[in-house]
Structure 1
C-alpha cells in the first residue's frame, strides 16, 4: 500500500511539474533595448564611451529559467584622431570600434522581478581591421514594470586587444 501511494504521489508531482513547465514554455519574449557603456582595459586608451542596441528572443524553459538567442550592435566611440601607442603616436581618422554579437542567452529568475544571466557567443567585427572575437556578457537585471527591464552588465570581447566595458541598459519586452 505504501509503495502504491508513493508512486501515485510521484506521478502527481511529475504531472504538475510538466503542466507548470508547459505554461511557462508556451510564453516567449522578444526583447529590444539600448545600453550605454564605459570601456576599460585596452579599449579605454582609445574610447571612453560606448552605445549599443540589444535584441533577443527568449523561451521559458521552466518557472526559473529562460533560454534564447541575442544579438545587437555595439559602437565604441574613438576619443580623437590621435592615438598614443607608448613611444609611437599615430595621427589619422580612426573608425569607431563596432561589433555585432551573435549569442546564446540564459536567464535565471530567483524572483519574478530579479534575474541573473549571461549571453555567450561571437562578436563579429564590423569596422576595418576588426576581426571580432569570443563574446561573453554576464548581467543582473530587474523588472521596473511588466514590460520593462533595467540591467547592469559586463561585456568582454576577446579580440587582438581587450574590449571590456561595464554597461547600463534598458530592455522592453514584447
Structure 2
C-alpha cells in the first residue's frame, strides 16, 4: 500500500512537470518539534504542487514532496512523503499569503506508521517565487520495535520550516 501511494505521489509530480501551468517547486529547512525533536536535529525537504486559481486570490490544488529528518544520538534518519490537498489565499492589497496543506504523510521507515498531515503557512508573495514560514505536523503511531520510543502510542512528528517555492510556467 505504501509503495502504491508513493508511486501516486511521484505520478502527481510528473503530471505537474508536463503541464507546467500552476506548477510550484521549492524546498524547505526546519527545526523539528514535538516528538521529532527528541530524535532529530534538523529537517530538510522538497515541495511540489499543482495549483488552480479558483477565484481572485484563492488557489486550490494538490501537493507532494519529501521531508527528511536527520536523526541524532544514534537514531536513524527518517522521512515522510505527503500527499495532500493544498489551499492558498493571496491578500489583495499586500504581498502576503496564508496557506494550508491537509492530507496523509507516508513514512519512509517501517517502524513509523503513516499518518495525518497538516501544514499551515504564511508567506511573502513575489512575482515568480514565494518565501514562507510554516508549521508541519504529522500525527502517527510509532511501532514498538523501533530504535527510539518504546510504546505504541500516537506521536507528533512536527517541524517549523522556512521555505522558498518557485513558479514554473
Task: Indicate the TM-score class for this superposition, using the shorter chain for normalisation.
Answer: 0.7 to 0.9
Match of 2:150 in 1: none
Structure 2 residue 126 is the aligned partner of structure 1 residue 133: no
Structure 2 residue 86 is the aligned partner of structure 1 residue 105: yes
1:69 Cα deviation after fit: 0.3
For residues 57-76 of structure 1, the aligned pairs below 5 Å read: 57-76=50-69
4+ runs deviating over 3 angstroms: none
Look up the SS of the partner of 1:43 in the other structure: helix
The Cα RMSD (Å) is: 1.5
1:110 Cα deviation after fit: 1.4
Structure 2's unaligned 5+ residue stretches are 1-19, 142-154
Structure 1's unaligned 5+ residue stretches are 1-26, 82-93
Match of 1:164 among 158, 163, 167: 158
Structure 2 residue 85 is the aligned partner of structure 1 residue 117: no
Look up the SS of the partner of 1:95 in the other structure: coil
Cα contact 1:28–1:60 (8 A) shared by 2? no
Look up the SS of the partner of 2:111 in the other structure: coil
Match of 1:33 among 26, 33, 53: 26
Q: In structure 1, what is the Cα distance between the partners aligned to 2:102 and 2:51?
A: 14
Look up the SS of the partner of 1:128 in the other structure: coil
TM norm structure 1: 0.74
Whose radius of gyration is greater, 1 or 2?
Answer: 1
1:28 Cα deviation after fit: 4.1
Structure 2 residue 124 is the aligned partner of structure 1 residue 142: yes
Match of 2:37 in 1: 44
